[in-house]
Amino acid sequence: MTTLPVRSRRARKRRPDASLLPGHGHGRFWWYLVPGFAALFVIIIVPLCWNVYLSFTSYRGIKPPIWIGTENWVRLFNDATFWTSFRNSIAMIIAMVIVPTLLGLLLGATLFDVVGKKFGGKLASFLRATYYLPQILPTVVAAIVIGWVLRPGDGALNHVLKAVGLGGLASNWLGSPSTALVSIMVVLVWVQLGYPVVIFMAALGRVDPELYEAAELDGANWFQRFRAITINIIRPEIFVVLLTCTIAALKVFGPIYALTRGGPGTSTIVPSYYSYSQFFQSQQVGYGAAISTALTVVIIIVSILFIRVQERAERTERDG
């Protein structure tokens, strides 16, 4: 993923813009882009622009949209629910980015260093596959699995709590405002953890064991070596994980739809669910379009910031 064509730019300078196929100028290859471009235009670019246009209109889905200027946007910035939805996005980022990345670093490193080297690769692979398992499920199904465990009343978690004498802690986990958001976060940590584990374990294969041996001779303990060597070498993978997971966290929809529909009240509402409910439940299409456009802008800004930070990190590393 990190091998964007950017990397080979230097190599290309020698033979600028020649195709890899001798005797075939790069101009002739445009034809192959025609179907892809046409599809991208019709399914992505036109709807995206249309959606931006709708955000400046009043449209209830039946009569044609009416241009109302920035009214939706003014309303958006004064809408407490909109800000709540983005505050909940921060909770989603904690659950899908921060916790899985930190745990994934520790688990990936221990599975690779300790379990893989001292207890056999089979056990390490098996554990890695187990951690990865929730990742391959449809997120709504993953949500339903955890939702089943958290069922109010007779759910498995409440059952177990009662059995060990902690019945007082039993709760309507997804139904009360104080626990619903945390319950959703548990679902997301469960789903997401395997991804950084797999990526980081693969990246650790690049670390030269001699570096570790040298550090060990210098008396560095495991954690010092982890911080000084491991983190530095697998930094590109950490960036990829942070960026892709942050985008995924901003886009969360399925678990919210399947478990709480944003409720109770607005305690678990997220931008994507908020715009969906404006589109298809309140029939406030213009307002829904404004919310989804705002989300798009946030995602693009986050991506640009990430790539900037990564470039700067690479530059400082190169310059020593």
Partner 1 sequence: MAPVDTASAATLDQAPADAPARHTGHGARRKVRRTRSDWLVVVIAVVGAIVIAAPLLLILLNSFKSPTDYASKGPLQLPIHPYFQGIIDFWNRVDFPRKLWNSIFISSLVAVFAVALSVLNAYALGIGRVRARTWIIVLFLLGNMLPQEALLYPLYMMFKRVGLYDNVWAIIIIFTVIQSAFGTYLLSSVYGTFPKEILEAASIDGAGRWRILWQVVVPISRSTLSVLMIFFFIWTWNEFLFPLTFLISNDNQTVPVAITALQGQRLMDVTTTSASALLGLIPTLIFFLIFQRTLTRGITAGAVK
Q: CA–CA separation, 57 vs 59, rounded Å? A: 6
Residue ranges in the chain assigned as alpha helix (H): 9-13, 30-40, 46-54, 71-77, 80-93, 99-110, 116-118, 121-136, 139-149, 156-163, 177-192, 194-204, 209-217, 222-225, 231-233, 235-250, 254-259, 271-280, 285-318
**Comparison of 36 and 320: residue with beta carbon closer to partner 1:** 36
Q: CA–CA separation, 288 vs 284, rounded Å? A: 6
**Comparison of 43 and 102: residue with beta carbon closer to partner 1:** 43
- State the nearest-atom distance from the C-beta of 267 to partner 1, in Å: 17
Q: CA–CA separation, 69 vs 54, rounded Å? A: 10
- State the nearest-atom distance from the C-beta of 147 to partner 1, in Å: 7
Stretch that binds partner 1, among 3-11, 66-74, 86-94, 177-185 (CB under 8 A): 3-11
Q: What is the footprint of partner 1 within residues 48-107 (CB under 8 A)?
A: 48, 50-51, 54, 107
User: How many of the chain's residues bind partner 1 (CB under 8 A)?
Assistant: 122
Stretch that binds partner 1, among 73-81, 82-90, 155-163, 308-316 (CB under 8 A): 155-163
At a CB cut-off of 8 Å and minimum separation 6, what does 302 contact? 243, 246, 247, 250
Stretch that binds partner 1, among 149-157, 212-220, 224-232, 310-318 (CB under 8 A): 149-157
**Comparison of 5 and 168: residue with beta carbon closer to partner 1:** 5
Residue-level length of the chain = 320
Q: CA–CA separation, 158 vs 166, rounded Å? A: 9
- State the nearest-atom distance from the C-beta of 138 to partner 1, in Å: 4
Give the per-residue contact string, 106-145, with partner 1 (x = CB under 8 A; - = no): -x--xxx-xxxxxxxxxxxx-xx-xxxxxxxxxxxx--xx
- State the nearest-atom distance from the C-beta of 221 to partner 1, in Å: 11
Q: What is the footprint of partner 1 within residues 161-220 (CB under 8 A)?
A: 163, 190, 193-195, 198-199, 201-206
- State the nearest-atom distance from the C-beta of 124 to partner 1, in Å: 4
* Cα-Cα-Cα-Cα dihedral sign, residues 228, 128, 95, 172: negative
**Comparison of 3 and 316: residue with beta carbon closer to partner 1:** 3
Q: What is the footprint of partner 1 within residues 214-243 (CB under 8 A)?
A: 237, 240-241
Binding partner 1 (rule: CB under 8 A), the pick from 179, 244, 266, 267 is 244
Would you give the DSSP letter of residue 112?
Answer: I
Binding partner 1 (rule: CB under 8 A), the pick from 44, 90, 169, 305 is 44
Q: CA–CA separation, 318 vs 320, rounded Å? A: 5
**Comparison of 52 and 316: residue with beta carbon closer to partner 1:** 52
- State the nearest-atom distance from the C-beta of 313 to partner 1, in Å: 19
Q: CA–CA separation, 222 vs 216, rounded Å? A: 8
Q: What is the footprint of partner 1 within residues 4-23 (CB under 8 A)?
A: 4-6, 8, 12, 17-23
The upper half-sphere exposure of residue 140, i.e. CA atoms within 13 Å in the direction of its Cβ, equals: 5
Binding partner 1 (rule: CB under 8 A), the pick from 67, 77, 83, 148 is 148
Closest CA to 298 of 102, 68, 92, 54: 92
- State the nearest-atom distance from the C-beta of 49 to partner 1, in Å: 8
Closest CA to 87 of 268, 296, 313, 280: 268
